[in-house]
Structure 1
């Protein structure tokens, strides 16, 4: 099973990916986790990512893609994966498509949605130091501008799920949509 999970900050992508991964027996791969792991391990890529983050910049596509390529080559990802946080742009989607040539394509792109006010409230409740109202609004605007075009890119495999409901109901909705699309329960 190869799933992508999209949605703005605060919509519950990580929560759903963590629930789906054991269900399908594939790893949940988060680019944020990859950054933290590489930085903690002091890898060459981790040092480059840390330098970008320390400078207040986004980690470049080249660094992100190199980390992800290494992770997708690991044995546990051989039968699939759930990507959380990647791709974020059409260019990254092109790269992922090229990376998967010769293997199975993406089975589904799950798009989690919730009202703007709910997203802001959820992000503020997390209590992270960088989760100010202004920062959250900026990230939501960036999501709309950069990531939403991916819905067109993945058009035929997109499944939209309302994430403004209890976690278990969101999970059940995702499983039902993926089952309808792939025949896998």
Structure 2
């Protein structure tokens, strides 16, 4: 597969005039959601909203919600949907979200999706969420994840798509490359099962409302970005909701 970088993707100034609204990027581990989120942030000047980041920020800043969350985390208890929803609601009130935002890790469940729809519907100035799913063949994803090898300095190779000149050795400093524990096939398989179980109801929720498109992610980064931008414009220009 041909590789590219986000920096190669040129965004026309006119893109700043397009109102993207709330965008949910979906995709299995390894499809490149993070890379594409950064491209959309640069293209439209909107923030990426991560529930993990929100949770950590609330705990670090000692907000009332953060204190409640810290108590649960310290006890080894999962933070409830209700508490996460309150944190998201607070984040969506900040001024950088007025043109839109990219959702990362939320909504993960159907309950969260329906809550988010209700939350946004209460503000007549806010557009509904549209969901775009980046799809890559399972075997391709498996190669992306399990083929990854990393040097102590953080240089990343892939034995299938970007191998080192000498097997197991970093091209730059000659150090030994390692496979991270999370990049094993067993871990990847478990993550895929969890992703599919959680995401399927969310996908159907947005698909049934005409707020969903799938994108082929097995292309260079800039081409995938262009596909996402085109899908986003189709969904916003021809709303069925």
Same fold (TM over 0.5): yes
Aligned twin of 1:139: 191
Distance in 2 between the 1:85 and 1:110 partners? 13
Aligned twin of 1:86: 106
Aligned twin of 1:168: 222
Structure 1: unaligned runs, 5 residues or longer = none
Aligned twin of 1:98: 118
Aligned twin of 2:12: none
- SS of the equivalent of 2:103 reads strand
TM-score normalised by structure 2 residue count: 0.66
TM-score normalised by structure 1 residue count: 0.84
**Bigger relative contact order, structure 1 or 2, given CA contacts below 8 A and separation 6+?**
1
Aligned twin of 2:45: 25
Distance in 1 between the 2:52 and 2:84 partners? 10
1:111 to 133, 145, 149: 133
**Is 1:151 the counterpart of 2:171 in the alignment?**
no
Q: Which runs of 4+ in 1 moved over 4 A?
A: 47-58, 126-132
- SS of the equivalent of 1:35 reads helix
Superimposed CA distance per residue, residues 55-88 of structure 1 (whole angstroms, 9 cap, x where no aligned partner): 6664321222121111101011122211121111
Larger Rg computed on CA atoms: 2
Structure 2: unaligned runs, 5 residues or longer = 1-20, 149-155, 157-178
Aligned counterparts, 1:25-104, within 5 A = 25-50=45-70, 58-101=78-121, 102-103=123-124, 104=126
Relative distance call for 1:108 and 1:128 in structure 2 (3 A) is farther
Distance in 1 between the 2:93 and 2:234 partners? 28
Whether the 8 Å contact between 1:31 and 1:68 is mirrored in structure 2 is: yes
> Which deviates the most, 161-170 or 53-62?
53-62
